[in-house]
Amino acid sequence: MYPCELQEHPVRPILSIRFRSPVQDLPTHFGRVWGSLMEYLGTLGEHPTGAPFATYYNMDMQDLDIEAGFPVARPLPGRGEIQASEIPGGMFAVCHYTGPYNQVGPAYEELTQFVQQQGYIPSGVAYEWYLNDPAAVPPQELKTDVVFPVSRAG
Please give the full DSSP string across 122-139, using - where no structure is assigned.
Answer: E-S-EEEEE-S-TTTS-G
| Sequence spans of domains, the chain | 4-152
CATH architecture of 4-152: Alpha-Beta Barrel (3.20)
- Backbone torsions φ then ψ of 111, nearest 5 degrees: -65, -40
Task: State the average pLDDT over residues 23-34.
Answer: 95
Closest to 150 in 3D by CA, of 109, 104, 105, 116? 116
Helix (H, G, I), strand (E, B) or coil at 107: helix
> Strands 143-152 and 90-98: what pairing?
antiparallel
- DSSP 8-state code for residue 58: -
Interval 37-58: pLDDT, tens: 999 999 999 999 999 999 999 9
Return the bridge partners of 118, or none.
Answer: none
Q: Per-residue confidence at 83, pLDDT binned at 50, 70, 90? A: very high
Give dist(CA 26, CA 14) in Å, integer.
20
pTM of the model: 0.95
